[in-house]
Amino acid sequence: MCNDETLDAVRDRAGQLVRHADELRRKFNDIEEEFKEGNLDSAGLRDLSRAIHLVETDTAAFEKILGG
């Protein structure tokens, strides 16, 4: 069974992952709209890349917490 500290870390990171996944979806929708309008630029792609990076960071933290 997990100790309380590990459980708290998992809960905190899961909350962050949910928020970051929501942000990733919003950014994707924004980029998709820009693409449809022909207005896609590098700033939009940078925002999407940053959102992806946050989800990747969360994934790495889960691996560390769970000993993977």
Give the tens place of pLDDT for each residue, 56-68.
999 998 888 888 6
Those residues with Cβ within 8 angstroms of residue 11's Cβ, 6 or more apart along the chain or in another chain: none
3-state secondary structure of 9: helix
What does pTM read for this prediction? 0.80
Q: State the pLDDT at residue 36.
A: 94
**Secondary element (H or E) of residue 62:** helix 42-65
With beta carbons less than 8 A apart as the criterion, state whether 50 and 1 touch: no
Tell me the C-alpha distance between 35 and 54, whole Å.
23
pLDDT greater than 70 at residue 21: yes
Give, in order, the Cα–Cα distances in Å from 25 to each of 7, 34, 37, 67. Answer: 27, 14, 18, 28
Q: State the pLDDT at residue 2.
A: 64
Mean pLDDT estimate for the chain: 89
